[in-house]
Structure 1
């Protein structure tokens, strides 16, 4: 019998990516919620390099790193395609998914966390620049991958669901950032509406109130530690 296990955390956009992909393919799996402050022996055993979630174990074989796992799922199980079949389009999907993780999200985080006029101005300029690349990429499409959910859409969970809450809590010590607005990025905002209003997506995203509580608790803990 096939064995599929996923080690993750409920609040991690990277874990949620993998869960969405498994459910999209109709794969039955066992989910193991990890306490990142007290990582399980199995997580450390099967992912000794990064020691983090998500971690997929398929028939005893571990696969780590969310984008790698998504490709593995797409190639292993039948069902709706996560990556395009055309080689060029497939390479572009990989490019934009990597861009989101390595360029876009770090820049958006810095825009929220930066302090001081010069630092903040520079961070905001960088964030606006990288988001504009996505704005142009999704222009004319309902979703990044056309009319169906694909790799880039799943990777962009960070923007669609997590970022607004992150900005609200971590950007509240400075004037409101409001990085992504309809005036500046109408195509991104249309994509967010299309994506998050999809029934399948709604069912596989954590509750915003629960995420907000988590961020508030982290901020309060950081303040207490600094005293």
Structure 2
């Protein structure tokens, strides 16, 4: 790989991600969930922060923008909606390409959780930072967008190569697994759930995951195949997804 990814916990269930282009030594922070851990990890690594790449505007993704920029002089890049909550220097949207040194990041429009949410795909490194659009065994709530928008976004991510590492922003996998088991009895899911519960008991992260594994076990990507389990038999793919999302919204397990 031409990059190094450094992952660490922030807040109660967020992850922080620092990405370094190994050729030039330039580093970027994917979102800014919490200032102190990010600054501590930068100092420990000895990395020079050149950029913040925001995925969407929510406070647990942009709350550290101003303070980290003041401390490092970095440039902040993200969708225009970031300005609702934090400083932003350069707007990007789906279809654009930005560079971290010699490493290309393709900006993908993946709205649904928020209207202008973006993901950052590294085509040469088979990795994608997806914010709150896709989670391990889950997907984000529709806080602003609607089911058709989110379904389209998930299909856009699902079209990436199966070996793509999916870096989602939260450690929700155990809760997502408990829900998934109520709508899907596939052996692959059962095995993944057991591995997830065991990893969390050991205090180990379940992020990142491989896209191929998500396509085989994530109920939100498999919604059309599982439509009957959420009362959506015979409905369209989008309607099956919407029913799956509503079922998860009220799930209390």
TM over 0.5: no
Structure with more strand by fraction: 2
Q: Which has the higher helix share?
A: 1
Instruction: Point out which structure has higher relative CO (alpha carbons under 8 A, 6+ apart).
Output: 1
